[in-house]
Structures are given as structure tokens and as C-alpha cells.
A and B are shown apart, each in its own frame.
Chain A
Amino acid sequence: DADVTQTPRNRITKTGKRIMLECSQTKGHDRMYWYRQDPGLGLRLIYYSFDVKDINKGEISDGYSVSRQAQAKFSLSLESAIPNQTALYFCATSDPRGPGANVLTFGAGSRLTVL
């Protein structure tokens, strides 16, 4: 099984719908992140969490919300999806300690299309 699992892998929805993307990890990392990737714009940070009680906005948090349900689970919600939220979304984890400190481990991505 993958260290970082994202569901769904692909989703097509309509404008105005509520969408949740889920992420779970088996790395035991405290730090989790949500990024979106757009052609020509690279990866941009949406939200990040350093532990269950710590949630922080990233570069492009407007229109998104997150929930850290447990150390291993971090979900991203679009309360009312709009077409410019069509993108590839990645969840990632990291640990500030140890030999692999700060190395990001990514999920396989969730491709979201908003019509």
C-alpha cells in the first residue's frame, strides 16, 4: 500500500457542488500539506497542518477548507466548486526530525474537473 493515499483519484463535478478530497498516510508524520498543480503555474500550497490542532493557510487558501481528523488523515474541501478550481491536487507529508527530515512524501494526486 502507498505511504500517502488520496481519494478519489479522479472526480468530475459541477459548479456549486461541495467536494471533499481525502488523504491518509501511514508514515507517522505529524506534518501534512495540500497543494494544487496547474500547467504553467507549478505547485502552490493551499493549507498545511503541523499537528492535529494546528491548521494554517497557505498561498492560495481562498475557496478551500481543511480538516485534520487524526494524525493520519487530512481532508480538503471545496464548499462550492468553481471551474478555476479544476486542477491536480496533491497531499504530502513530512517529518522535521530524523535522517529524512523535511523530505516531502507525496500522494498520487486527485484530478478534479469542475464543469
Chain B
Amino acid sequence: KQEVTQIPAALSVPEGENLVLNCSFTDSAIYNLQWFRQDPGKGLTSLLLIQSSQREQTSGRLNASLDKSSGRSTLYIAASQPGDSATYLCAGALRGGGADGLTFGKGTHLIIQP
């Protein structure tokens, strides 16, 4: 069974800093890995999806990487802003890429200090 771990559970940094959120998974036969953002009282918003054949994906100030051999993914946030404050979750998919095989981490709660 795939296990997904996110460390740290919480992170607080000053505005403007670049930062990295970490996600590790136990099964290297990963099909894809998704990063989500969750704001308080709201649902999850998909940020980036990396297929197993890809090494990274970029969207604006966000860059996600995937290293299957080491069982790690990172989410890099450049020039952080207070609006980036949220909980960030990663989820790894095994068979077929469908959400039936998706395992979520518990998230990293990020606070960007103005």
C-alpha cells in the first residue's frame, strides 16, 4: 500500500522567500503525483500533476518535481506572498492514475508572514 508523507506539518516564512515543500512516497511504481492547495473551509484545488514519465511541471511561481527512484516530490514556491498561505497536500496515484488508487499526504500548513 502506498504511503505518502509530508514534512514539515507546518511552516512559517517571511514574505518574499523562496521555499520548498516535501513529499515522500513508498512505492516507486507511481503513476502520477498531484499537488493540491486547500484554503480554510474550502475544497482542494489542483495545482500541478506530474506524470511518472515527467521530471517536473511548472505553473507560474510554482514548480513541482518528481524523483521516482528516491520516492520524493517537491513543490517549489518562488517569491512567496501572503496569499500563498494555505495547506498544501500531495497525492500519489498507483494503478491507472485514477483516484481509486490515490493516496494523500496529511499536508503542510504554510503561513507566509507579511
Q: Chain A's interface: helix, strand, loop or mixed, by majority?
A: strand
Q: Which residues of chain B have a CB within 8 Å of any CB of chain A?
A: 32, 34, 36, 41-46, 49, 89, 91, 93, 96-100, 102, 104-107
Max chain B C-beta neighbours (<10 A), residue from A40, A44, A103, A108: A103
Interfacial chain A residues near B96, Cβ < 8 Å: 96
Q: Which of A61-109 contact B (CB under 8 A)?
A: 90, 92, 94, 96, 101-109
- Asked whether B42 lies within 8 Å of A109 as measured between CB atoms, the reply is yes
Bound CA span A12–B93, Å: 33
6 examples of A-B residue contacts, CB within 8 angstroms:
A31-B99, A42-B104, A43-B104, A101-B97, A103-B49, A104-B46
Check A90–B99 contact: CB distance below 8 A.
Answer: no
Considering the chains assembled together, what is the distance between the CA atoms of A33 and B43 in angstroms? 13
**Alpha-carbon separation in the docked complex, A92 to B98 (Å):** 12
Q: Does the CB pair A103–B42 fall under 8 Å?
A: no
A106 to B98, Cβ gap below 8 A?
Answer: no
| Separation of A41 and B93 alpha carbons in the complex (Å) | 18
Total count of chain A residues near the partner, CB < 8 A: 26
Point out which of B41, B46, B49, B100 has the most chain A C-beta atoms below 10 A from its C-beta. B100
Residue from B44, B96, B104, B105 whose CB has the most chain A CB atoms within 10 Å: B44
Of A4, A45, A101, which contacts B100 at CB under 8 A?
A45
Question: Cβ of B44: which chain A residues have Cβ within 8 Å of it?
Answer: 43, 90, 92, 104, 106
Say yes or no: B49 contacts A96, CB within 8 Å: no
> Would you call A56 an interface residue if the criterion is a C-beta within 8 Å of the partner chain's C-beta atoms?
yes
Q: Chain B: which residue is nearest A93 at the CB level? A: B99
**Residue of B42, B43, B104 with most partner-chain A CB within 10 A:** B43
What are the residues of chain A within 8 A of B93 when measuring CB–CB?
A: 102
